[in-house]
């Protein structure tokens, strides 16, 4: 590698789950990199300028540009979509720890969406807190796009009254499904002794939650107490790969 990789991440205050995943991967692999923080409203124009491919299409059919993205000066590659970045880094730097051991890229491809479906009830608790923590430059964009997704005003997104208990129970149930997957092997990882992209996904979700709510919050204390303390162990184990460069 001639020089360090650039990881373009979302607004520093939000420190998106997906960005955490690629930070873990770069640190795990020991690849030198620097982070460039980008405000939400600037992503599209900056990506077009750099020639970073879009990740998917918006409902209106126009291209949708997302963080994280990387630029690798040693190959000239610009790439977005966190799992594609991990796959690229595995292939380009084969002497570093592999994220998809034993040809598990196919099996692990749906894993982030799977965890997302298990944790469908989580985001209503997270998004309103993220919103107020963003820089002013990103806050309006984030509010408008997320209100459209939830179909309600940001103030109405977070569960209230009895819904707090029932919706939070769904988050615990979702983490329970992830716990079942872990319990199938003798750990500490989803694939037993082999760390993989699956663990990166889970640890990044946990690190994101802990960062958003804070270590002393009731939410994080709850999560730390669930499933025999597994979640604190998982995220603590990844702490050595969490350095923000």
What is the binding site for its own copies (CB under 8 A)? 101-111, 114, 180-185, 190-194, 198
Least Å distance between CB 191 and its own copies? 5
Does residue 43 contact residue 65 with C-beta atoms inside 8 Å? yes
Q: Which is closer to its own copies, CB of 128 or CB of 198? A: 198
Does residue 9 contact residue 20 with C-beta atoms inside 8 Å? no
What lies within 8 Å, CB to CB, of 38 at 6+ separation is 8, 9, 10, 11, 46, 67
Least Å distance between CB 203 and its own copies? 15
Least Å distance between CB 181 and its own copies? 4
Least Å distance between CB 69 and its own copies? 21
Q: Which is closer to its own copies, CB of 116 or CB of 159? A: 116
Q: Which is closer to its own copies, CB of 129 or CB of 194? A: 194
Q: CA–CA separation, 49 vs 6, rounded Å?
A: 16
Q: Which is closer to its own copies, CB of 111 or CB of 142? A: 111
Does residue 230 contact residue 17 with C-beta atoms inside 8 Å? no
Strands 69-72, 56-57: parallel, antiparallel or unpaired by DSSP? unpaired
């Amino acid at each position: 590698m001639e020089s360090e990789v650039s990881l373009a991440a979302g607004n520093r205050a939000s420190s998106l789950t997906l960005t955490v995943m690629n930070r873990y991967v770069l640190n795990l692999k020991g690849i030198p990199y620097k982070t460039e923080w980008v405000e939400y409203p600037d992503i599209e124009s900056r990506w077009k300028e750099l020639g970073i491919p879009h990740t998917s299409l918006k409902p209106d059919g126009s291209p949708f540009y997302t963080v994280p993205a990387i630029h690798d000066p040693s190959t000239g590659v610009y790439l977005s979509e966190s799992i594609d970045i991990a796959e690229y880094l595995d292939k380009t730097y084969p002497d570093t720890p592999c994220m998809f051991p034993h040809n598990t890229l196919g099996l692990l491809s749906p894993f982030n969406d799977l965890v997302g479906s298990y944790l469908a009830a989580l985001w209503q608790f997270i998004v309103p807190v993220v919103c107020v923590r963003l820089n002013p430059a990103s806050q309006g964009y984030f509010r408008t796009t997320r209100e459209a997704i939830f179909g309600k005003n940001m103030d109405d997104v977070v569960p209230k009254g009895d819904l707090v208990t029932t919706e939070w129970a769904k988050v615990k149930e979702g983490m329970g499904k992830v716990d079942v997957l872990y319990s199938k092997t003798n750990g500490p990882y989803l694939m037993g002794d082999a760390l993989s992209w699956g663990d990166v996904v889970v640890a990044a979700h946990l690190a994101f939650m802990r960062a958003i709510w804070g270590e002393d919050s009731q939410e994080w204390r709850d999560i730390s107490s669930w499933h025999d303390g597994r979640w604190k162990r998982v995220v603590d184990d990844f702490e050595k790969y969490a350095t923000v460069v």
